[in-house]
Amino acid sequence: ESCRVRLVPSCKVPPDVPAERVLKGRVVWITGASSGIGEELAYQLADVGARLVLSARREGELERVRRACLERSRLREEDVVVLPLDLLDRASHREITAAVLRHFGQIDVLVNNGGRSQRSLFLDSDVDVYKALMELNFLGTVSITKEVLPHMIRRGTGTVTTVSSIVGIAGAPLSTGYSASKHALQGFFNSLRSELSDNPGITISTICPGPVQSNIVQNAFTEELGKSVSAQADQQHKMTTPRCARLILVGVANRVWEMWIGQQPFLSYFYVWQYAPTLAWRLTNILGRKRVRNFKAGLDADSAYFTKAKAS
């Protein structure tokens, strides 16, 4: 098994419905679409015939992704739109949402994928790093959702899918601020789902991936704003990005409320945190101690959990 899901009890879509059947022709807005999971989601959504809005800060990269989407699919030029977006510029979110609606007339799925990770120890990190993480990962996501959700409620249908993380459920050393921002997202969307219980056509979906092969570590915050990560992580032990994106698409098509995605032994880690938290705390301390020691020694911290660390 490479994923664990919680299905919507009153789901109107049959279990395991093909994503192609559900998502073809739907308008899907992806934030963080210029790389990683967001980029791969764009490709796979194009393959199934979804119409796309691609957003991130780097317009050049978004255009590259757009061209690739058109080349690999039967979508027309007007079916894939690039709209640069800065999650920190919340004052711009209303107009950008309006631009999407002017072009397509609807938003069927919002994929909140934009954000950054962290690789630094709390005692070494500036508080400004924590502010930036919360502003970007949490408040930026909340802001976009607030602009899109009223449109979905008026139509009586729509899906808000947010890419959280395993550290939105558990905790991990070197990611205290990142974990806090993802816990905030978990709490927010779990509460929002309950608020929308009188709107059965609206699905609030949270995706919690474990380690996935991407450039998330390369772009992570460190102990100071503007300082880049010095050591790159070994990606061999992580799930491939195409596999992760495929599972997300299946979850969206089946209106899954929460989805855990990860390879073993990471998937078992989810279960331990869910059903045996005391054991999980002990396990995290043991593995985390090794991870911190490797990080301090300048070794590959990411591979320190279950593989032998190598000098970077």
SS (H, E, C) the chain: CCEEEECCCCCCCCCCCCHHHHHCCCEEEEECCCCHHHHHHHHHHHHCCCEEEEECCCHHHHHHHHHHHHHCCCCCHHHEEECCCCCCCHHHHHHHHHHHHHHHCCCCEEEECCCCCECCCHHHCCHHHHHHHHHHHHHHHHHHHHHHHHHHHHHCCEEEEEECCHHHCCCCCCCHHHHHHHHHHHHHHHHHHHHCCCCCCEEEEEEEECCECCCCCCCCECCCCCCCCCCCCCCCCCECHHHHHHHHHHHHHCCCCEEEECCCCHHHHHHHHHHCHHHHHHHHHHHHHHHHHHHHCCECCHHHCCCCCCEC
Among the listed residues 43, 130, 178, 271, the single catalytic one is: 178
If you search the block for the tokens 């806090």, which residue do you land on? 180
Question: CA-based angle 95:48:12, to the nearest 5?
Answer: 80
Q: In b/e form, how buried is each residue of 58-88, taking b as 16+ CB within 10 angstroms?
A: eeebbebbbeebbeebebeeebbbbbebebe
Query: How far is C-alpha 190 from the chain's CA centre?
Result: 16
Strands 109-112 and 27-31: parallel
- The verdict on whether 269 is a catalytic residue reads no
- Any idea which residues carry the catalytic annotation? 178
